Structure 1
Amino acid sequence: MATGHETNPNEVRSVLDYAEGEIFVSSLEAVFKGVLESEVPVHAVYGPARGPFQNLRTHAADEGLSRLLIDHGCRLELIDEPGRAVDLAARSCLVGRNVVMLMSAGDVLRSANALVRARKLLEGSEGFGLLLIIEDDVEHLARSAPVHLLDDLAIAKIEPNDVSDLRDMIEHGIRLSRAGNGPTSMLVASNLLHSFDTITARPNRVVGTLDVAAAMKRKRRIGRGSETMSLLRLSRRLELNRTSALPSPGERAPLGLVAIGPAYTAAEYLLRRFGLEGRIPLLRIGMSAPFDDSIAERLLSRCERVVVLEARPGLTGKALLAASEAARRRGVETASTWWRSLPEIDGESPTLERGDALRASQVARKIGNLLDSVSTGRTITRGLAPADPRFDELEIPARGSSIGVEGAIRTVRNLLTATGQWLRERQDGEVEDDERIALMLDAPAESGTSRYDRLVEAEIWGRNRFLADGPAAIRECASDPTPRLLVICDVGAKGGIDVVRLATASVPEEFGDRVEIRTVDLTDLDGFLEVLRESVLSDNVRVLIARDGTPPRFDQSAIERSFREVDRLGFTTMHRLSRPAEQACSLRAPILSESLGTGVDRVGEELETTFKIDRLPRRMARMIKVRVRPLLEQIEVVRTRPPMVDVTGPTGERPGPPVIQHAAASVWRCHIAGWRGGEPGLVSRILCGAGREMGYQVGCSISSRSAGPGRGAWAQLLFTRPRDGAEPSLPLLIPFGEADLLLGADPV
C-alpha cells in the first residue's frame, strides 16, 4: 500500500482527501476528486485558468491539493494556449501516460489543427489515455461546430448529467481512451461546470492512514471492464447507457424518452414530479459517440413515440433515427422519433429549442400534452402556471455589456465613430487641393467613396481573435499600400501571451518602417481619441493595443480584485460624489438621497484640472475663443469605521424573532439575484455553509454572465434532506415557480 506524507494534526485537511461521508465540492474539485479516485492512474492535468476553469490557478497554489497530486504521481500544468496543450498531451501519451485536458468553450476550434496532428500522431499507439473535458456553452454559442469537429475526428464522446457523474466519468473516459487507442472527449454543459453539489466521497487511489485504508476496503468500487474490449462493449460494462421502466418484449408504451447528458436529470425529475416514474420508458445516453444502436433499438421497438431530449436538438436524434431505419429494414416495427418538432396535439406543434431540455419546466410545457396522453385520471398541463403574455412584451436590456471585451469593443467603436465625424467636420469648407480623408469601419464602402482622396480602413479585434488570426493580418496590412488602423482590445488576460510582443514580432522586416505599434489606455477617453485622430491622418499602418487602466473599467477579473479589499473590511474607505458646479453654491442643495439613487462611484478617479485644444472648422470665422469655467465639484468622504446598522423598524420598534417558514419542507430553493466575489458568490457561500452546518445536502448553480462591474447575474441554491446514493439527484436549476426565497444581493 502506498503511503503519502505524514499528516499534521494542525494542518487543514483538504476536502479532496476525504474517503467517506458527504462533501461539498465545485465541478472543478469534482474533476480533481475523480482524478484522485481513479483506479487508472492519471499522470497529468493540463488546462487554462480562464472561463469555467478560472479557479485553476487557485487550486494550483493549494498545498493540500499539490500534496495529494504528488502522492498520486500526477502534475497540474497551467497552459493558456490550447494548441500547445494538445501537443504536450499527445507527446505525453506517446510514452504511455494518461492525461486529462481541460478546454473552455471555443478552445476546440482554436486547437483544431493541433487535434488533427494529435490524432495522426497517436494512430497505432497503445497503452495511453487522453481525456478532453470540453465546455459546451449551450446558452451563448448557437453553433455546435466543436461537436462536429469531434465527430469528424472519430473521437468518442461522453456526457455527464450532474457533478457526481462528472467525478465518475473521469475514470470511465480514461478507460475508453485506452480501449479505443484514441482520445475521448467529455462534453460538459456550461451550467454544470459552474455548479457546486454535495457528493459521496470515496477513497482515493493512494491512501496514507489506517482509517482511510479501512474506508477504502469498505467503499472501494469493483473495477468493471477491460481495456482489451471494444468501445461499445466497454460502455455497456460501465453502464454508460441504461434504460428504466422498459416494457416487456411484445408490449408497446405510448411514449418513451431519450435523455442525453444533463437533460437526464431534468427528465427524471419531471417524471417523478408528476408521478409518471415507472410508466414512461427512459433511456439515458451517457456515451453519444460512437452510438449504441442495440440499446436504442430495444427502446424503439417497445414504444409508439420517442422524444429525444438534448441540449442541442438534432445531434443525437439523427443517430437515433439512423438506428430506427436500420431496424425497419430488418422488419422491426419501430417508434416515430421526434427531437426538434414535436407531435401535433390539439392543433399545437411545440418546438424544442436549444437549451430547453436542460430545464424541467421547459420540458413540461413542451411535452405536457404527450404526458397527458399517458397519465390516467390526471391532467399534467392543468397543474402548470399559465404563461403571462406580459413577459413576452418585456424588452430585457443587455446586462454587463459595458464591461469585458464586448464593452471595450463597444467603447472603441463609439470613439471611431466620433473620429469619423471629426474628419467630416474638419474637411467641410476646405480648399480643393487639400486631401480629403474618410474612415471606413470594419469594411470599405463601395458607394460614395470616389469624392475622397484616401480611405483609412479600421478594424476592431478582441484578444482571443487576435491571438489566432492577428499575426497574419498584420503581415497582410504591412504589404498593402492602403492605410490601415487595427485596434486590439487586450482586456481580461492576467497572464499568457503578450499581445504587444506578438504584434511586434509579426511585422515583416522589410516593412518595419510602415507599421507603428502603440499602447493606449481605455480609461483615458480623451487621450485615446487624440491618438485615433492622429492615426487616421497617417499614411502608415497603425496597430493600437487598447488596455484597461487604473482603476479598471473593463477587465472583469481586475474589477473583482478591486472589490476584495471592500469585502475584507466590510465597507468602502473612499466615497467620491460628483455634481455639477452650478449646484455648489446654490441656496437649496439637491436632496442627497436622490443623488445616491443614481449610485456612488466607488472607484471614481480624483478630479484634476485639464485643458484641450479643439481645431475649428474652416467654415467658421478665423477667431480664437477662450472659455474657462468650473464644470464639476467633487466631494470626498473617507470612512475609517463600518457604518452603523439600523436594527429598528420604520416606526422605531425592534425586530422580533424570525419566523420559520419552511421547517417541514424536504426541498428548499433560493434564488440570489446578483453575486460578487469568487464563485459561487459571498452570499451563496454563506448560505451553503449554513446549510451544511445544519445537516442539509446543498447544491448551487450560478450564471457567470456579468450583470455589472464585479457582479454575476444570479445564483440558485438547493437544500434537501440527507439522501442515500440510490435516490435520484434533483436539478440544481430552479423549476418555474418553485423558489422559496428571492434575495437581491448588492443591487447598487
Structure 2
Amino acid sequence: MDDRFTQASGTHVYTGCELLVKGALESGVSLLTGYPGSPLAEVFDAIQRNAELLKNNGIIAQIANNEALSIARLNGSQMADVRAIAFMKSVGLHVASDALAISNLAGTTGGAVVVVGDDTWSHSTQVPADSRFLARHVYTPLLEPSTFQELKDWINCAFQISAAADLYVCYLTTENQASGGGNVELQPNIYPDITGLKQVNLDTQLIDADKRVVLPPHTAQIEMETLQERLPAALETARDLGLNTIQFVGDTASKKRYPLGFVSAGLAHSCLLHALGELNLYGDIPVLKLGMTHPIDANIVRAFAEEVDEIYVVEEKRPLLENEIKALLTQMYQDGGIKRYVNVWGKQFPDGLAGIPAASGLDASILIQQLIPLFKHRLATRESTGYSEVSNPLVDLRHLTREEALQKEVSEQQIDIPQRTPTFCPGCPHRDSSSVFLEITRQFMDTDYMKKRHNSGPVDLVFHGDIGCYSMLKYEPFPRLMHNLSAMALGGGSGAGIDPFIKNKQIVFMGDSTFFHGGMSAISDSIKNNQDIAYIILDNQTTAMTGHQPTPAGELDLLGNPTFAQDIEQVAQGLAGDSEIDIVRTNPEDRVNYKKHLEKTILKPGVKIVIADKECAITYHRRLRREQRKTIAKDGFLKHEKHINITPEVCEFCRECTVATGCPGLKIVNTDYGEKVAIDQSNCVSDGACARIKYACPAFEEVIVTRKRPPQAQTTASGYRDLLRDDPLPPPPPLRFERSWNTYAAGVGGMGIGTISKVLVVAGYLQGYDVTFCDRKGLAIRNGGVYTHLAYMQPGVHASPMIPYGKADLLLGLDILEAVRGITPRSLFRVASPDRTAAVVNTAKTETITTLIGKDDFDPDTLEETLQIHTKSEAYFGIDLFTISEQLFGNKLYANMMLLGTAFQHRLIPLELEPLQLALKQMVPHADLETNMKAFNVGRRLALDSPQLADETPRQPSYAEMLSEKRQILERKRGGKRLAQRYVKLVEDVVETMDVGPDNIHRLLALYVYDLIQFEGINYAQMYVEKVKQVHAHDSASYDYRATKAAIRYLHKVMLIKDEVYVAHLLTSEEKFARDKELYKVDTKNGDRIKYVHLNRPHFTVMGLDFEADIDTRNWQLNLMKRMKFLRRLLPEWHAKEKAFREWYISRVIDTFAPTDVEAYDKHLRALECVEEVRGYREIRYPKMEAAKQTVEGLLGSVTSDQ
C-alpha cells in the first residue's frame, strides 16, 4: 500500500492517474471499474498497488471485460446509495456510449462518474479524440479540470453534481494531465457506508421501474425532464461549487470594457495562463474559466461578455465551445439580453490572422505562436478602452519581439533524423508468431515451394489488424502482416466484409484480453457465416499493451482476489460446438512445429483457431528476477546463468536476424571485419527468437555459465576504476532561479527516464518547490521514445505540464537521438535554445528498428554537433555512459543515474544533495538502491574527472601488439613455432614492401593473414599476400592507396570461405573463449565454468545431393569438426559456389587491376568493393554474389585479365 493514498492533510506529489484514484477515495467511492486504455491505464496500476487499502474498507475495484460492461456496472450500482466511478480512454467511451446513453437517462442515487482520457495528440490512440461531443450526445454534464489540484478535487464535485442532477457526469482528462502530475493539497479519505464488507438488502418494492427502465413511451418524457430539470440542476450545482469563474477582472464600476478576453476550459486553460505568463501578460487580460462545459452557464457567459469588447475561445480540437458561445450571445443579442453584438473568435482570428488550431492538442508554445500576432494587432496598436491603472493595456512589444524571434529560431532549424518506431519487447511471444508469418507469407508466394510442399499454387495472405501489442505489426519489420484496421476485436468483422469476394486466405491476430473484450463475438460471427479465416489468438496471460492488468483468463483479479480462470480454448470450443473447426493450443517458441501447423491450418477451408500460448516476456522476467533476487539473498550468487551470444567473426552482417525479428535485444557493433550484429546484453532476455530464424547464421549460441561460489571482485577496466572510489565528494554550490526552472529528459523505453522523472519530481517537492511534470511515454515500453517535461516553480508561478519552445534550462539526453528529437522543429517539443539550455547527454548509439534492419542510419557524432549548436556551448557535456555503466556494473541500465549525477555535480540542477539522495531512496527499489547510488556518484565523479578519462578508455591493439598476439597463438599449435615464424616474416615483409598508410591498416593485414592461415594454411595466406602486393604494384600514393586498402579487406573476405570446418574453428577459438570469459565474468580459478550450445545448421553437398539439419552442437563436437579440413578436398561440390566466386573475383577483379586514368581507377575501386554487400550463408549469399558479378561487368566492361 502507498502511504500517499491515506494521507489526510498537507501536500504530496502524484501523477495524474494517481490523483484520479485519490480523488475518488476522498469522495467516498464504493466502486471503481472500467477498462484499461492509454492515457488512463495507470489508474488501474494505482488501484492495484493499493489493493490492501481498498479491500480493508470494502471498496470494490474490478476491470470489466469491456467499457460497456463497466458502464453497466455503474448502472447497477445506482440501485443503491453508492458512489461509483468508471475509467476509460476516448475510444472506450465509443464502445460504452450505448450503455451510457441509457444508464444516464435512468439516473443516479449516490452518484456515477465516467472519467474519460482523451489522447488529443494521438500518441497512442488510433483516431482523433474529442469526447466533449459524445458527452453532449448522451446528455451527460461534462467537467473539465484544469490544474492537478482540480483533477483530484473535482471528482467529489462530479459526484455531487451527479447526485443532485440525477445524471451521470463525464469527467474529461487529457494525455498531458493523466501522464503528468504535481504536488497537491490533500483531504482525508471518506470511506462509504455501503461496501462489499457492509452489504445491504435492496428493497425491490422501492425501485421506480418507470425511471430505471428507459423504454418507450417513457423515453420522450425522460428526455424532456433531462433538458428542463436535470441538466439545469447540474448547472445550478456547478454554480454553487464555483466551477465556472471569471478571472483577472478588476473593479468594474471604475472602468470601461477590456479590449479582449479569453474563454477556456480544462488543459487548454492551463496552457493559456502559461502562455500569458511567458508573454508577461498573466493577470492583465480577463479569462472566463469554464469548469463545467456542458451545459454552459449562460449567465456567466453574459457577465463576461459585458466586460470585454471581443471574446477569444481557446480550446483543443474542433470549435465546440466557440460555436456554443456564439450561439448563446447571438440569441441574447436578438432577445435584448445584451445591448451590443460581441464578436467571438477561436479557430479564426480577425483580419485574416490564424486562430487556434483545430487538429491535435494544445500547449503553451502553440498558443504563444498564435497570440503574439493577435496582441500586436489588437492591443499594441490601439489605445486603452479603460483599463485600471494597475493593468496596462499596452503589451511590451520588445518582449513580444524577443519571444517571436525565439519561436522562429527553434522552428527553422534544419535537423534530419530517423523515426524511432515501436516494436515488440525483447522476448515478446508475439515476435515468434510474426517472424514465422513473415516467412510463411514469403514462401506462400513462391510457386516452387507451394507446389512441392502443398501441391498448390501461390497463396497471397490477407491480414486484418486489431488493437493490442500486435498493433506493432504496422511497423518495421512486419508491415506486411497488417492490411487494415477497424477497431478493437473487429479484425474478424473486417474479414467478413471481404470474404465473399476473394479467394485469398485470411489471418486475424487477436490478443487474450481482446478475445474477452469482444473477440468472442467476432469468432462467433465468422463461424456462423463460414468465413475462410484463421484466428491467431496470442495468449500471453495479461493485458500487456496497457501495463499488464489481469484478464479473465487469470486466477486473480485486480485486487488479488481469487477468481475463476476462464480458458480461451474451452470458450472457443464452446463457440465451435460440434463443428469440425480446428482449434489448437501451441507454443510459438517451437518454431519448426509451429510453422508446420500454421501452414497446414491456414490452407484448410473455413474458420480455424490457433492459440499461441506463451507468457508475456515482461511478466515472465519480472517473476524470474524476483526469484533470482531471492536466490542471491540466500546463496549470495546465481549458480546458473544462460545467455544468447553472437560470435562476431562468424556473423556475416546479412541482417536476416534483425529483419526477421526487429528485436531491440540486437545491436550493431563495429569490428575489424566491419559492422556485425551483436547481442545487447542489457536488453536481451535470452529468449532465442533471433537464433530460431531459419536463415540466421551459425554465429548464434547459448552460453551457460555455472558458478560454485560467489564471484570474486574483479579488476575494473583501467579507464574507469577510479570512478568507484568512495572518498567524499563536495556538493556543488546551490543553483538558484527566480520564477521557474525547466528540465527535459529524453530516452528510449526501458532506459530509465521514468526513474529520472520520479527522482527529480520527489526531490523538487522535498526541496520545497511547486512541481509540475509530464511523462510522455506513448509506446515507450515497446522501444519507442519517452520524454519527460518537468518544472520547478516558486510559489504563485503558473505552468502547464509542457515546456514552452526554447525554455528548457536543462536537457538530459539518455539517448542522443531522442535528445535531438526534442529540439527538432519536426517534433512537438523544440525545448532547447543556445542562450538558455544546458545539456548533459549520453552519446552512445541506440539503434532504431529501421537502422537495425538497414533501412536508415544516423551518426551520433553528427547529432552531438547538432546538440552543441543548439544548446549553451559552455554548458554542454557529452560522454558514452553506456560503455562506462557496462564496464562498472555489467549493465548499461545504470546510465540514467550516472546522467543525473553528472548534471547535479555540474551545478545544473537547483537541488541540494540531501533531498536528491532521499528521493533516490524513495523512488528506487530497495534491491537496486545501492548500485543506483553508486551510479549516481560515478556520474558526479565524471563531472570532475572526465578530461582524464579520455586517455584511459579502451583502445584497439596496435599493429605490433596484434602481430605478437597472433604469433603466440600460432606457436601453441602443433609445429607452431615454425608456422609462427613464417607468419611474422610474411606479414613484416608485406608491411615493409607496402607503405599504405596508418598503423591500423598494418594491424588489419596482420589479422587477415592470420585468419587465412587458420583457414587453410600458410601457402593460402601467401597467395593472399601476393595478390594484395599485385594490386599495390599498380596503385599510387596519389590515390591514397585506396585500391590496395580495398584489396586487403575484400580479398580476405572472399578467400575466407566460412564453411562448417572454419566456423567450427571460429566458435571454439582461443580468442573467443578469452573474450567470452571477460564478457560473462567467468573466473575459472573461482570454480566458474562456461559451456556452449551452438545453434548450427550444417549443410553438406555429396554427389549432387544436399544434406541439411538443425543441430545443437557442443564444443567437443566442433573441436572435431575444425580438424576436418580434408573434407574440402573430399567433397569437391561442398561450397562450390563460394569457391567459384573466389576464383572469379581474383581473375576478374584482382588480376585485371591496372588503371590508366582516374576514371578507370575509380571504376576498378568500386569493383574491388562490390563484395561489401555479399553477405550471409548459402541461400542468402548466392543472389548477392550474382548481383556483385553484374555490378563488376557494368563497371569494367570489356576489360580482360590479359590487360
Post-superposition offset of 1:183 = 0.5
Aligned partner of 1:159 among 144, 152, 155: 144
Aligned to 1:17: 6
Aligned to 2:1147: none
Structure with the larger RCO, 1 or 2 (CA within 8 Å, 6+ apart): 1
Aligned to 1:210: none
Question: Cα deviation per residue 1:478-529 (whole Å; 9 max; x = unaligned)?
Answer: 2445532223444552522349845653567776433222335455555543
**Structure 1: distance between partners of 2:61 and 2:689:** 48
- With over 3 angstroms needed to count, the CA separation of the structure-2 counterparts of 1:339 and 1:519, relative to structure 1, is farther
1:206-355 → structure 2 map (5 Å cutoff):
230-246=233-249, 248=252, 251-331=256-336, 332=338, 333-344=340-351, 349=354, 352-355=357-360
Post-superposition offset of 1:635 = 5.6
2:309–2:342 contact (8 Å) kept in structure 1: yes
**Structure 1: distance between partners of 2:572 and 2:169:** 35
**Structure 2: distance between partners of 1:206 and 1:389:** 51
Aligned partner of 1:732 among 801, 822, 825: 801
1:522–1:549 contact (8 Å) kept in structure 2: no
- With over 3 angstroms needed to count, the CA separation of the structure-2 counterparts of 1:412 and 1:106, relative to structure 1, is farther
Is 1:129 matched with 2:111?
Answer: yes
- With over 3 angstroms needed to count, the CA separation of the structure-2 counterparts of 1:289 and 1:403, relative to structure 1, is farther
Q: Which amino acid letter does the alignment assign opposite residue 324 of structure 2?
A: A
Post-superposition offset of 1:164 = 0.8
**Structure 2: distance between partners of 1:598 and 1:13:** 38
1:155-554 → structure 2 map (5 Å cutoff):
155-205=140-190, 230-246=233-249, 248=252, 251-331=256-336, 332=338, 333-344=340-351, 349=354, 352-357=357-362, 359-373=363-377, 374=379, 375-379=394-398, 380-384=400-404, 385=406, 386-388=408-410, 394=416, 396-403=418-425, 415-416=436-437, 418-427=439-448, 435-436=456-457, 438-442=459-463, 455-461=504-510, 466-481=515-530, 483-490=532-539, 493=543, 494=548, 495-498=550-553, 501-502=567-568, 504-505=570-571, 512-521=578-587, 526-546=592-612, 548-549=614-615, 552=617
Question: Cα deviation per residue 1:523-563 (whole Å; 9 max; x = unaligned)?
Answer: 5555543333222332342223345557x2xxx66667777
1:529-608 → structure 2 map (5 Å cutoff):
529-546=595-612, 548-549=614-615, 552=617, 576-580=644-648, 582=650, 590=671, 599-600=680-681, 602-605=683-686
Task: Specify the SS of the correspondent of 2:136.
Answer: helix
Task: Specify the SS of the correspondent of 1:262.
Answer: helix
**Structure 1: distance between partners of 2:371 and 2:693:** 64
1:564–1:677 contact (8 Å) kept in structure 2: no
**Structure 2: distance between partners of 1:532 and 1:608:** 17
TM-score normalised according to structure 1 size: 0.76
- With over 3 angstroms needed to count, the CA separation of the structure-2 counterparts of 1:458 and 1:203, relative to structure 1, is closer
2:181–2:772 contact (8 Å) kept in structure 1: yes
Aligned to 1:224: none
- With over 3 angstroms needed to count, the CA separation of the structure-2 counterparts of 1:165 and 1:538, relative to structure 1, is same
Aligned to 2:1138: none
Post-superposition offset of 1:49 = 5.7
Post-superposition offset of 1:630 = 4.2
Gapped regions of structure 1 (runs ≥ 5): 1-11, 208-226, 615-627
1:22–1:200 contact (8 Å) kept in structure 2: yes
Aligned to 1:211: none
2:25–2:190 contact (8 Å) kept in structure 1: yes
2:649–2:673 contact (8 Å) kept in structure 1: no
Gapped regions of structure 2 (runs ≥ 5): 193-229, 380-393, 465-482, 485-494, 555-565, 653-669, 816-845, 847-891, 893-1203
1:49–1:57 contact (8 Å) kept in structure 2: no
For the aligned residue pairs, the C-alpha RMSD in angstroms reads: 4.7
2:431–2:689 contact (8 Å) kept in structure 1: no
Q: Which amino acid letter does the alignment assign opposite residue 138 of structure 1?
A: T
Post-superposition offset of 1:161 = 0.9
Aligned to 1:742: 811
Post-superposition offset of 1:341 = 3.2
**Structure 1: distance between partners of 2:92 and 2:280:** 42
Is 1:139 matched with 2:121?
Answer: yes
Post-superposition offset of 1:363 = 0.8
Aligned to 2:50: 62
Post-superposition offset of 1:174 = 0.7
Post-superposition offset of 1:59 = 3.8
1:232–1:290 contact (8 Å) kept in structure 2: yes
**Structure 1: distance between partners of 2:536 and 2:672:** 43
**Structure 1: distance between partners of 2:187 and 2:411:** 49
- With over 3 angstroms needed to count, the CA separation of the structure-2 counterparts of 1:465 and 1:321, relative to structure 1, is farther
1:489–1:545 contact (8 Å) kept in structure 2: yes
1:155–1:182 contact (8 Å) kept in structure 2: yes
- With over 3 angstroms needed to count, the CA separation of the structure-2 counterparts of 1:697 and 1:592, relative to structure 1, is farther
1:23–1:198 contact (8 Å) kept in structure 2: yes
1:635-714 → structure 2 map (5 Å cutoff):
640=711, 657=730, 659-660=732-733, 662-674=735-747, 681-707=754-780, 709=782, 713-714=786-787
Aligned to 1:91: 76
Post-superposition offset of 1:340 = 2.4
Aligned to 1:221: none
Alignment identity in percent? 18
Q: Which amino acid letter does the alignment assign opposite residue 668 of structure 1?
A: W
Q: Which amino acid letter does the alignment assign opposite residue 139 of structure 1?
A: W
2:279–2:403 contact (8 Å) kept in structure 1: no
2:36–2:87 contact (8 Å) kept in structure 1: no
**Structure 2: distance between partners of 1:259 and 1:308:** 6
1:327–1:334 contact (8 Å) kept in structure 2: no
1:69-108 → structure 2 map (5 Å cutoff):
70=57, 74-108=59-93
**Structure 1: distance between partners of 2:764 and 2:507:** 54
**Structure 2: distance between partners of 1:454 and 1:608:** 32
**Structure 2: distance between partners of 1:593 and 1:663:** 49
Question: Cα deviation per residue 1:677-701 (whole Å; 9 max; x = unaligned)?
Answer: 7998322222233333333333332
**Structure 1: distance between partners of 2:750 and 2:679:** 23
- With over 3 angstroms needed to count, the CA separation of the structure-2 counterparts of 1:439 and 1:177, relative to structure 1, is same
More helix by percentage: 2
**Structure 1: distance between partners of 2:694 and 2:756:** 49
Q: Which amino acid letter does the alignment assign opposite residue 682 of structure 1?
A: T
2:749–2:786 contact (8 Å) kept in structure 1: no
Aligned partner of 1:27 among 16, 24, 38: 16
- Name the larger-Rg structure: 2
**Structure 1: distance between partners of 2:415 and 2:101:** 47
TM-score normalised according to structure 2 size: 0.50
2:421–2:784 contact (8 Å) kept in structure 1: no
